[in-house]
Amino acid sequence: MDLRITCIPGDGIGPEIVAEAKKVLDAVAGRFGHAMHYTDILMGGASIDVHGVPLTKEAVDTAKSADAVLMGSIGGDTTTSPWYRLEPNLRPEAGLLAIRKELNLFANLRPAVLYDELTGACPLKEEISAKGFDMMIMRELTGGLYFGEKKTIEEDGVRKAVDTLVYDENEIRRIAVKGFDIAMKRRKKVTSVDKANVLASSRLWRSVVEEVAEQYPEVKLEHMLVDNCAMQLVKDPAQFDVILTENMFGDILSDEASMVTGSIGMLASASLNDTKFGLYEPSHGSAPDIAGKDIANPIATVLSAAMMLRYSFDLDREADAVENAVKEVLREGYRTVDIMSEGCTQVGCRQMGDLLAERITL
């Protein structure tokens, strides 16, 4: 298969971790008989330095012409970098918001996995972490409270602020379909999270999700109130497979789920539109404090590449091979500094990439 991938190395550790993800993808191509065609574009600070803007139209067009986009991370040190003295619409993050909008990415996927070898990093009690967990948070990204009408007014000398939470049934249906499709590739369980006891938008959410569920008889659907979900994530995270939720709830729950894994350098993510197209990137930032030192953990980016193989290219065996390589390397005791523990062998970013690439097997 010919895979056309636009890469955004970005800023900070971005170029280092994307280089290692490409190394692993090339190993997949070699073992499984595919051809990877990469085109790099500039975004964020790297684009500001060259073009004066965080994203050019040409870069967007290149991204749109690919089958998927693989990104490192963008942004610099927000207190010292000159990029943050620019107007907000010219700063690095504006490039990311613009590309998400241009590519119509409405579904955000964030896996939270606790690897057996890294249970020591999990902040939960041992009897909970011992059970492990492997969940996927599917968050609606373009609607809800963050995008509804907002205003701040003053009435009789009292300041008043209004945010509006709006969802229409089409927005809910398209994210629900994505959630159930992903569940079909996993353990076939969807937990739809809402606040249907108080919010009208949540009641519509619940009824549309139930309509979509009828098309997926193999998938078990359960509903959970968001406050209960926040508790269950720390009490019994093993119960979750796919968590399907709206924008603000997903924003908060996905960060909570990330924290319970305890290892930021391991967390992948994807943002999808209504085709197979997606933008894949680690959940962490550009880590300017460690850039250029060859100590960044490339695993989150490598696992994002695995998500790209699975969700944009339907190459499940290849994605499994990448995820198995990660487990294998951890089992053998290799660690980057962020996940280092006693008795393990510390390696740098490049060596971790080499080890992962060597362990890609059919």
> What residues act catalytically?
146, 195, 227, 251, 255
Shortest Cβ distance from residue 83 to ligand NAD (Å)?
8
Query: Which residues fall within 8 angstroms of residue 248, CB to CB, at 6 or more apart?
Result: 144, 145, 146, 165
Residues 294-323 as x/- pattern, contact with ligand NAD by CB under 6 A: --xx--x-----------------------
- State which residue, 81 or 191, has the beta carbon closest to ligand NAD: 81
- State which residue, 24 or 229, has the beta carbon closest to ligand NAD: 24
Q: Pick the binder of ligand NAD from 20, 93, 171, 246 (CB under 6 A).
A: 93
Shortest Cβ distance from residue 342 to ligand NAD (Å)?
19
Shortest Cβ distance from residue 275 to ligand NAD (Å)?
22
Residues 10-39 as x/- pattern, contact with ligand NAD by CB under 6 A: ---x--------------------------
Count of residues binding ligand NAD (CB under 6 A)? 22
Q: How many CA atoms lie within 13 A of 196 on its CB side?
A: 14
- State which residue, 73 or 312, has the beta carbon closest to ligand NAD: 73
Q: In a 3-state reduction of DSSP, which class is residue 116?
A: helix
- State which residue, 129 or 297, has the beta carbon closest to ligand NAD: 297
Rounded distance between C-alpha atoms, residue 59 and residue 98, angstroms: 11
Shortest Cβ distance from residue 168 to ligand NAD (Å)?
28
DSSP symbol at 310: I
Q: Pick the binder of ligand NAD from 24, 96, 224, 226 (CB under 6 A).
A: 96
Applying the rule CB under 6 A, the residues between 255 and 274 that interact with ligand NAD are 264-265
- Length of the chain counted residue by residue: 362
Residues 59-88 as x/- pattern, contact with ligand NAD by CB under 6 A: --------------xxxx-x----------
Helix H or strand E encompassing 6: strand 2-10
In this chain, which stretch among 213-221, 240-248, 277-285, 323-331 interacts with ligand NAD, using CB under 6 A?
A: 277-285
As given in the structure block, the two tokens for residue 182 are: 């992903």
Q: In a 3-state reduction of DSSP, which class is residue 279?
A: strand
Query: Could you tell me how far CA 29 lies from the centroid of its own chain?
Result: 23
Shortest Cβ distance from residue 98 to ligand NAD (Å)?
13
Q: Pick the binder of ligand NAD from 23, 284, 335, 359 (CB under 6 A).
A: 284
- State which residue, 43 or 309, has the beta carbon closest to ligand NAD: 43
Q: Is the separation of the CB atoms in 12 and 76 below 8 Å? A: yes
Shortest Cβ distance from residue 293 to ligand NAD (Å)?
10
Rounded distance between C-alpha atoms, residue 25 and residue 266, angstroms: 17
- State which residue, 94 or 219, has the beta carbon closest to ligand NAD: 94
Q: How many CA atoms lie within 13 A of 192 on its CB side?
A: 26
Angle at alpha carbon of residue 327, lines to 326 and 331, rounded to 5°: 120
Rounded distance between C-alpha atoms, residue 207 and residue 16, angstroms: 45
Rounded distance between C-alpha atoms, residue 288 and residue 12, angstroms: 5
Q: Is the separation of the CB atoms in 71 and 22 below 8 Å? A: no
Shortest Cβ distance from residue 13 to ligand NAD (Å)?
6
Rounded distance between C-alpha atoms, residue 133 and residue 115, angstroms: 8
In the chain, DSSP finds a helix count (H) and a strand count (E) of 12, 14
- State which residue, 13 or 55, has the beta carbon closest to ligand NAD: 13
Rounded distance between C-alpha atoms, residue 221 and residue 183, angstroms: 10
Residues within the interface to ligand NAD (CB under 6 A):
13, 73-76, 78, 93, 96, 264-265, 281, 284-290, 296-297, 300, 338
